[in-house]
Every structure is written in C-alpha cells, then in structure tokens.
Amino acid sequence: MCGIAGKLSLDGPVDRALVEAMCATIRHRGPDSHGAFTDDGVGLGVQRLRVIDLATGDQPIYNEDESVVIVLNGEIYNYRELREGLERRGHRFRTQGDTEVIVHLYEELGDRCVEPLRGMFAFALWDREARRLLLARDRIGKKPLFYAQDGATLWFASEPRAILADPQAPRGVDYDAIDCFLEFSYVPDPLSAFAGLQKLPPAHTMTWQGAPAEPRRYWKLDRSLPPETDDEREWPELIRDRLVEATRLRLRSDVPVGAFLSGGVDSSAIVAAMARTSAGRIRTFSIGFDVGEYDETHHARTVAEMYDTDHEEIRVEPRAVELLPRLVWHYGEPFADPSAVPSFYLAEATRRHVTVALSGDGGDESFAGYERYAVHDVAHRLRRLGRPGAALLAAVGSSDSGLRPRRAAAWLAAALRQPPAEQYRHTMANFKGDFRERLYEPELLAAVGGPRGATADRLFADALAGASAQSLTERLIELDVATYLPGDLLVKMDIASMANSLEVRSPLLDHVLMETAARLPLHASLRRGHSKGVLREAVRDWLPGSVLERPKMGFRVPVDEWLRGELRDLPADVLLDPRSTSRGLFRTAEVERLIADHRDRRTDNGLRIWALVQLELWFRTYVDAAHPAPLVLNAA
C-alpha cells in the first residue's frame, strides 16, 4: 500500500526534488520508504507502506532491461499465480513482491496488463522506449488517482495535495463539483473540487504520449448474464466458496493482519471466513457510541466470543474541534459522510496493533443490502395505485420521523410521485433542488445550471443509462456501484485508513465474487423485503441467529444529536463567521434558519449543516491558504 505522484513535461526536465516534495505531502500513505525515478521530461515517485516483500519490494520497480518502470498504490492479491505463469514463459524477477508482475504483464499484453489483475490498485507505468505513460485504476475504485493536464505537462497523484505541491499546477475551484458535493455529500468521478484536476474513474486506463488520450474502460459489472448454475440450492454454496477464496487471497501478508468487526452480517462473515482460512488467533476491532441506538458493539462481541478473537472496542465521542481539521486536510476535497469520524478513529486504533485490516465493505451493493432497495422495489410494484396510494403512504409518516416504517412510507410516497429514474436521486440527495434554490445566492445558482444542477443531472443520467439490468431496482444497485460506492464509501475508508498508515482489504469487493453475485437474480438477495438472502444462507452455519436475522444498521453516526449537544456551537462559529458569509455562495438568512431549525428540533438538518461546515473548512484549508495545512479551530 502506497501513495504515488509524478509529473511529465514536454517543455524540459522534471526536477527530482519536486517529485520528492510531491511525495512528501502524502508520506502518511507510505511512511516505510520512498523512491523516485527521473528521466528526460518524466518523474515518478512513491511512498511505500511495506506489507508484502519487506526486503526487496521497494519501488519504483523495473522489468529486466529497465525499459519499463512502475509505481503502484495497492495490492495485487493473485500475484503468486501470475508470477508462476510469467516465469514459465521466461520472465525473470528481482523481487518477491506483487508490483513486479505488472511490468512483465505489460511486456506481454501492453495496456491490457490490467485485465489479469485481482486486487486494488492505482499505478503509473512509464514505457521508456515509447516515451508513453499508462495510468490505471482498479475495477471497483478502491484506490484513488487524480490527474491534471496543462498544455504540455501532466501531473498525477494519489491525493490532490501532492499535485498542488507544484506551484505550476493548475488551481481554482470547480463550482459544478461543489454543487454535486452538496447534493450527494461527496464529489463524484471524474470531477474534482479543484477546477484543474480530475479523477481517473474506476476500471479505466489512460495513456499520455505527448498528449493525454481519453480514459478507456476495461471492465464493467454485468447484471444481464445468467447464473453460473440454474439450481437455486447451489447459489449459497457458490457464494460461500467465492467468499472463502477472496478472503484467503487477502490474508497474504508479511505483516500482522486483523479485521474490522461491526456485528453486522458482512463483517461477521469476513471474520468467520478468516477463521476458516488463517492460522492463529484473529484480531478484531469494533467501534461504538454512547448513543444506544447507534451502538452495535454487543453484536460484535457475540461474534468475537464465538470465534475467540483478540477483540478490542473503541468508544467515540464527538471531539470535532480536534478531529475535523485533520479530516478536512486528509480528505483533500469536501467530504460530508459523518461516518468518516468513527472510521478515522477505528483506523487509528487498529493501526496500533496491525498493519492490515479486512473489512466488510461491498456486501450491500452485491446483495441488495440497503433499505432503499426494498423501498424502491415496493414503490415500483405499488405505482399502479397512483395518487390514492401516494396519499395513503404520505399520511403514514413524515420524512423526518426516526421510525423506520414511517420513514420508509414517506420514501414510498415521494417515489410514487416521481418518474422511476428520480427515485434514487430523491433518496440519496442531501440538498435537494428546493433546498438549493433557497440556499444558493443567484450567481451560484446560475453558474451550476439551476436548482437541479446541470452537471449532477448529467452524471446521474449517464450512470443510469450505462446500467445493464432490466429491473429498476437492479439498475439502482448498478448506479450505487458506479457512484456511491467509489465516490463515498471507498473514499471514506481509503483516506481514513491511509491517514493512519493502515491498509484495508475488502473480500466482498473482490471482482470475481461481485461478478458471481451480479449474475444471480434479484430475488436471490431481496426476498419479501428482506435483504442479503443468499449471503445469509451462505454463512448460516457460521454465525448465530442474532446476527443473521437482525436488520441492517449500517455505520450510522449520531450527527443530529452531536450538533445539538457537544457540537451545538460549531455550526454558527464556522458558517456565520465573516470568512464564510463573505464568499457570496449562500444566503446567510437561510444558513441561520437551517441552524436554528435543527437546534430547536423543528427539522433534522444535521447532515446538511455537517456538509456546509465541511465545505467551509475545505475552503479555508485549500483555497484561502497559500500552502494547505490542518486548521486550528477555536474550542470555545
């Protein structure tokens, strides 16, 4: 696991000291070693976290005659199998690690070298003879890769801060990206909050040979294919076998490995699979809150006791004055998923004991785990009720109710009033069109194309149009795999973990397992409103009924209560400060109303306020400051 950065220029040499300075800004991603390669007009750099091949695996890595050089962020889990095949075909290896297989695959396959790889990765490969750069990102988007191009110069890096270390790199704010952030709480691919930077989308490669080529997709999850077997009784065993295989591959490490354990089905299944594939006692880590309805530690403890793991629980309190500036600095872009707070604390505590942790990320997208899938599926079936059905459901409850049945009824009512394609957007949006119209100053509203947001509209429509499934619910699952998963969930964990020099591996995001799950019909997972049916059956003999049958809780965070309790002064201190109001982006009266309505419990605006706070702190850290650095918030 590493951080990478580099620069290419047709106008002259690239200074090695600049490449090293770019890498120094992301040293936390790989504090164990650093390396750089410079040649005429090209510089590649890397910060390495040593996980596999501690002795000889430092980067950059070369092929036999050093005509191909690579820097890699990530892990190639099937490197041993790939190496065996390459050695049989005459390739000679200098290291015992995973990175070297890519340069030899490139010798054989060119840009298609990504296709045999099973892992998480973002890499930059320089072909010295062709003077050609290949950038690549893994299929699901576990590892990030930013790039910028200005005339005859190209920059790339794992985090935007590394690119901005070069004074010549483009700067500025992309307000379309900011608008997308306010709607979805993250900046979606390929946008960046910085006007001159972009993200290489997941499952894409891009080449640069004097000029950048358009990114090329090399893989896509296909839900239109038939199951591997027609016998439904064999599906749980098929999933179980894929899960065990994916877990076994991710236990390959020369440093200690542990696991995150929430007590939900996904993370519990990973721990159970580890117990079947690893030698020795497993280390597990859980996080809890003092707000009871958000705390799952007792469920995690049940699984830990069942498998006799060496278990540790971390309690989280809302110490935002201490943590928020660090989060903003590390995330590099506005990011408003509040579960980044416990994720950061969990990674920080876990790193004290292990260097690698397995997580349960990915189960919801492969096995229809989110409550909204069931809601939208029911809405689709109830659409024939028309206005009477919508009115009945609206009367059952309001969207601000904390009760799940009433909240689901409100979602259903809203969905029935909208075209099917708008259901996802209504469910996921933080600042919907009416909120943005009241909040934005007229100049900002015009700049982003109106209250719906022209760019958000286009990205949403493109992602939905690219779905392969026929049913609406399955198309929404594909939409999440293309947007929410890489844009929110994977960014959250990548930054939280790498900020603490911890590598996190996710067996349920193994692309072979995901392909197997995608070929199963929806009813294999979603049965009469209950999610993850086939996964639960696959691990039924591994886990207690109290874990298997409990409803999904997710990594929920009591942000509403935090902003009425310990953090009640934070919104006004940040958002009504002259530095914020003078930006001319938002109507001050509307910001005041959001804060007052939340404080006085008229409306739950916690997530909206959290997003605005994150945005303002990002402006102060990355736009106002000449050199980005963590802020110091006034604790008063």
Q: How many CB atoms lie within 10 A of CB 245?
A: 16
Query: Do 461 and 538 lie in a common domain?
Result: no
Last residue of a domain, one of 186, 217, 248: 217
Domain contains 629: no
Judged against a pLDDT cut of 90, whether residue 322 lies above it is answered with no
Run of H or E residues at 47: strand 42-48
Query: Do 64 and 177 lie in a common domain?
Result: yes
Query: How far is 194 from 158, CA to CA, in rounded Å?
Result: 14
Query: How far is 544 from 151, CA to CA, in rounded Å?
Result: 60
pLDDT in tens, 460-472: 888 888 899 888 8
Query: Do 28 and 158 lie in a common domain?
Result: yes
Query: Do 383 and 398 lie in a common domain?
Result: yes
Q: What is the CATH number of the domain that holds 255?
A: 3.40.50.620
pLDDT band at 501 (very low <50, low <70, confident <90, very high): very high
Query: Do 265 and 338 lie in a common domain?
Result: yes
Domain contains 632: no
Please give the residue range of the domain that contains residue 568.
563-624
Of the residues 2, 23, 113, 180, only one is catalytic, namely 2
As a whole number, the mean pLDDT across the chain is 90
Query: Do 25 and 153 lie in a common domain?
Result: yes
Query: How far is 595 from 608, CA to CA, in rounded Å?
Result: 9
SS3 220: coil
Query: Do 166 and 272 lie in a common domain?
Result: no
Domain contains 633: no
Domain contains 558: no
Amino acid at 550: R
State the total domains in the chain: 4
Judged against a pLDDT cut of 70, whether residue 404 lies above it is answered with no
Query: Do 283 and 180 lie in a common domain?
Result: no
Judged against a pLDDT cut of 50, whether residue 635 lies above it is answered with no
Structure-token pair, residue 567? 């953090």
Residues with Cβ within 8 Å of residue 387, at least 6 apart in sequence: none
Q: How many CB atoms lie within 10 A of CB 222?
A: 12
The mean per-residue pLDDT over the stretch 266-290 comes to 91
The mean per-residue pLDDT over the stretch 225-252 comes to 96
Domain contains 557: no
- pLDDT computed for residue 387 by the predictor: 61
Which range has the worst mean pLDDT, 233-237, 390-394, 396-400? Answer: 396-400
Domain contains 554: no
Query: Do 603 and 521 lie in a common domain?
Result: no
2 is catalytic: yes
Query: Do 383 and 357 lie in a common domain?
Result: no
Query: How far is 458 from 454, CA to CA, in rounded Å?
Result: 6
Judged against a pLDDT cut of 80, whether residue 426 lies above it is answered with no
- pLDDT computed for residue 400 by the predictor: 45
Which range has the worst mean pLDDT, 172-186, 237-251, 491-505, 517-531? Answer: 517-531
Cβ atoms of residues 22 and 166 within 8 Å: yes
Q: What is the CATH number of the domain that holds 208?
A: 3.60.20.10
Give per-residue burial for 57-93: e unless 16+ CB within 10 Å, then b: bbbbbbbeeeebbbbbbbbbbbbeebbeebeeeebeb
Query: Do 177 and 266 lie in a common domain?
Result: no
Q: pTM of whole model > 0.85? A: yes
Domain contains 49: yes
SS3 327: helix
Domain contains 227: no
- pLDDT computed for residue 457 by the predictor: 87
Judged against a pLDDT cut of 80, whether residue 481 lies above it is answered with yes
Cα–Cα distances (Å) from 327 to 42, 390, 630, in that order, read 32, 41, 9
Judged against a pLDDT cut of 50, whether residue 399 lies above it is answered with no
The DSSP annotation for 430-485 comes to: SS-HHHHHHHB-HHHHHHTTSTT-HHHHHHHHHHHHT---SSHHHHHHHHHHHTHI
The mean per-residue pLDDT over the stretch 51-56 comes to 92
- Quote the DSSP letter at residue 326: H
Query: Do 478 and 499 lie in a common domain?
Result: no
- pLDDT computed for residue 538 by the predictor: 97
SS3 319: coil
